[in-house]
Amino acid sequence: MRRSLVVGNWKMNGSEAFVEKLLADLIGGLSEQQAEIAVCPGYVHIAQATSLCAGTPVVVGGQDCSHVQSGAYTGEVAAAMLCDLGCQWVILGHSERRQYHGELSALIGAKLAAAVEAGLRPILCVGETREQRENGDAETIVASQLRGALLEQANLSGLVVAYEPVWAIGTGLTASPEQAQEMHAFIRSCLEEIPGVDAGATRLLYGGSVKGANAAELFFQPDIDGALVGGAALDATEFLAIINAA
Ligand code: PEP
């Protein structure tokens, strides 16, 4: 039995006042939810968030980390630094990192190794663009993103994979539950071929314009174990509705 997981990716949003209110509303609105919950603020708000979430069911993660442990890498943040601030998770290979920062699978794989080594649980994002889907290449792309980051890893403990079709991120377009399930089942079959991964136990999150209104039908699918949520995670009411659906 895989426990549901709902992760909020706040991206480059918020201020101290915003974080304080959002977390107060989120934590105050939690009921007897069964899902595991994480929020991923910008780096500068992580310490504030871990302090506000202490003793609650909400844990904190980073949105990225460096591929090395320390050294002359101006502007980078090491996985161990995220641990120092109380993070338990880190998102890696988000399509915005791939698109705006040119991140390729080799680098993402190195980040993943550094994250696991430091004790973080990695959320590896994969997903195809609209053009790739229209050309019939969605599965090839996703398989290559998985293999590129996961093959030859010494330790993949705690791995979570998020399927985020790029055409659905922040666009209001969501993959249909059937489209998402089909890709999640494919991802699980790819994971079966990766040494060190228990494919049946690995949680697969869907991401791409998830909201309170569409979460339940996505979570109803057998291979969808939760969500990675962008825009709707900035609104406590919407995020709570997604958590309650999980
Ligand atoms: C994301 O960026 O991870 C994401 C899923 O964004 P949104 O929910 O806004 O589509």
Domain boundaries, given as residue ranges, for the chain? 5-245
How much is the pTM? 0.96
Q: What is the mean pLDDT of residues 10-23?
A: 98
Catalytic site includes residue 94: yes
Question: Mind giving me the DSSP string for 18-67?
Answer: HHHHHHHHHHHH--S--SEEEEE--GGGHHHHHHHHTTSSEEEEES---S
Residue 169 banded pLDDT, cuts 50, 70, 90: confident
Q: Which atom of ligand 1 is nearest to the CA of 164?
A: 5
Cβ pair 161, 227 in contact under 8 A: no
Torsion region of 71: left, alpha or beta (phi above 0 gives left; psi -120 to 50 gives alpha): left
Please tell me the predicted confidence (pLDDT) of residue 133. Answer: 94
Whether 145 shows a pLDDT value over 90: the answer reads yes
Cβ contacts of 117 within 8 Å, gap of 6 or more: 69, 79, 155
* Each residue's pLDDT tens digit, 63-104: 999 999 999 999 999 999 999 999 999 999 999 999 999 999
170-179, 192-201, 206-215: which has the minimum mean pLDDT? Answer: 170-179
Residue of 45, 67, 94, 184 marked active site: 94
CB of 230 shorter than 6 A to ligand 1? yes
CATH number for 5-245: choose from 3.40.47.40, 3.30.160.100, 3.20.20.70, 3.30.450.20: 3.20.20.70
Please tell me the predicted confidence (pLDDT) of residue 53. Answer: 98
* Each residue's pLDDT tens digit, 146-164: 999 999 899 998 999 999 9
Rounded Cα gap, residues 155 and 195, in angstroms: 10
Q: Which alpha helices (H) appear in the chain, and where do they start and end?
A: 16-29, 46-53, 79-84, 95-101, 105-118, 130-134, 138-150, 177-191, 212-219, 236-245
Catalytic site includes residue 192: no
Nearest C-alpha to atom 3 of ligand 1 is from which residue? 230
Whether 33 shows a pLDDT value over 80: the answer reads no
Q: Which atom of ligand 1 is nearest to the CA of 125?
A: 3
Q: What spacing in Å lies between the alpha carbon of 167 and ligand 1's midpoint?
A: 10
Phi, psi of 170 (to 5 degrees): 65, 15
**Residue 204: beta bridge partners?**
161
